[in-house]
Amino acid sequence: MGLFDGLLDFIRNYAVKAQKDDVLFTAIHRILTEELGWESKNLL
C-alpha cells in the first residue's frame, strides 16, 4: 500500500461522510420549510 492508496482511502471516506451530511441537511431543510412553513432570509 503506497502513499497514494492511503490518500485515496481518505478521500473516499471523506466523500461518503460529506454525502451523508448533505442528505441530513437537505432533510432538515425540507422539514423546516415544507412541514413547519419556515422561510429562509436572504442575507445578501
Domain boundaries, the chain: 1-44
Cα separation values, 19 from 22, 23, 41, Å: 5, 6, 25
Distance CA 9, CA 5 (A): 6
C-alpha dihedral sign at 10, 15, 16, 17: positive
Distance CA 16, CA 25 (A): 14
Pick the more confident residue, 32 or 40.
32
Write down the pLDDT at residue 1. Answer: 56
Question: What pTM value is reported for the model?
Answer: 0.57
For 1-36, how does the pLDDT look when each residue is reduced to its tens digit (9 = 90+)?
577 888 888 888 888 888 889 888 888 888 888 888
* pLDDT higher than 80, residue 42: no
Write down the pLDDT at residue 6. Answer: 83
Write down the pLDDT at residue 43. Answer: 64
Matching residue, cell 419556515? 38
**Lookup: cell for 28:** 432538515
